[in-house]
Chain A
Amino acid sequence: KAGVTQTPRYLIKTRGQQVTLSCSPISGHRSVSWYQQTPGQGLQFLFEYFSETQRNKGNFPGRFSGRQFSNSRSEMNVSTLELGDSALYLCASSQKTGATEAFFGQGTRLTVV
């Protein structure tokens, strides 16, 4: 069974640009969540999608957005990049939510210069 796949693995962008990250969940998983990890910070929740609907959003500015497609694949977009957006972005998929384990991808390392 294939795991959670995130692309790209590494990305370098310039301030002011926008970026799109992709996440393909495990087959059959309908919930996809996104997390950000910056140095010194724990994993911070960005948003969660289930069956193409955003059900929960973390405390991030509107520059961070996402979507989920009918095949459960998800994308997140960050517009007008800032230096502070440099981070590891992880996505996780699960069958149900909350009470079942989340399976994480290897992440996308975004560097904003």
Chain B
Amino acid sequence: ILNVEQSPQSLHVQEGDSTNFTCSFPSSNFYALHWYRWETAKSPEALFVMTLNGDEKKKGRISATLNTKEGYSYLYIKGSQPEDSATYLCALAGGTSYGKLTFGQGTILTVHP
């Protein structure tokens, strides 16, 4: 059974602060690591899909890194804005899991103006 852990569970920051979250996963049988943003009353939206050890991806103020050997990924948000408030989910695709994604419990980010 794959166990994907995210920390912290929740985070409150002020507008303009930079922040980061962690996703830990078993390094064996790794295939891909996904990050999603889930805003209230909306659908989860993909941010990044990473497959290679050392991958770094960036989209605007958000970036992510991946270390498959030690089993972790970091998501960074630079200069947080109130519209960044959402639940951030990471999900692991294992080598034989086909379309199955194993999700962590998520990090709830609240950005205060």
Give A contacts to B, CB under 8 Å. Answer: 3-4, 31-33, 35, 41-45, 48-50, 55-56, 58, 90, 92, 94, 97-107
- Total A-B pairs, Cβ < 8 A: 77
**Contact: A56 with B49, CB < 8 Å?**
no
Of A43, A98, A103, the most chain B CB neighbours within 10 A belong to A98
**Contact: A99 with B51, CB < 8 Å?**
yes
Of A4, A42, A94, the most chain B CB neighbours within 10 A belong to A42
**Contact: B104 with A97, CB < 8 Å?**
no
Apart from A31-B98, A50-B99, A56-B98, list 20 A-B contacts with CB within 8 A: A31-B99, A35-B103, A43-B44, A43-B103, A45-B103, A58-B100, A92-B44, A94-B99, A97-B93, A97-B99, A98-B93, A98-B94, A98-B98, A99-B49, A100-B49, A101-B46, A102-B46, A102-B99, A104-B36, A104-B44
Of B32, B89, B94, B101, the most chain A CB neighbours within 10 A belong to B101
**Contact: B43 with A105, CB < 8 Å?**
yes
CA distance A44 to B4 in the complex (A): 12
Contacts A90-B43, A99-B51, A100-B49; is A33 near B100 (CB within 8 Å)? yes
Closest beta carbon of chain A to B53's beta carbon, Å = 14
B67 contacts chain A at the CB level, 8 A cutoff? no
CA distance A4 to B43 in the complex (A): 10
CA distance A105 to B42 in the complex (A): 9
**Contact: B100 with A45, CB < 8 Å?**
yes
**Contact: B49 with A106, CB < 8 Å?**
no
Q: Within the complex, which residue of A32, A48, A90, A98 is in contact with B44, where a contact is CB–CB below 8 Å? A: A90
Some 30 contacts from A to B, beta carbons below 8 A apart, are A3-B43, A31-B98, A32-B99, A33-B99, A33-B101, A35-B103, A41-B105, A42-B104, A43-B101, A45-B100, A45-B102, A50-B99, A55-B98, A56-B97, A58-B100, A90-B43, A92-B44, A92-B101, A97-B99, A98-B98, A98-B99, A99-B31, A99-B51, A99-B93, A100-B49, A101-B46, A101-B49, A102-B46, A104-B44, A106-B43
Using CB atoms, name the residue of chain B closest to A46: B100
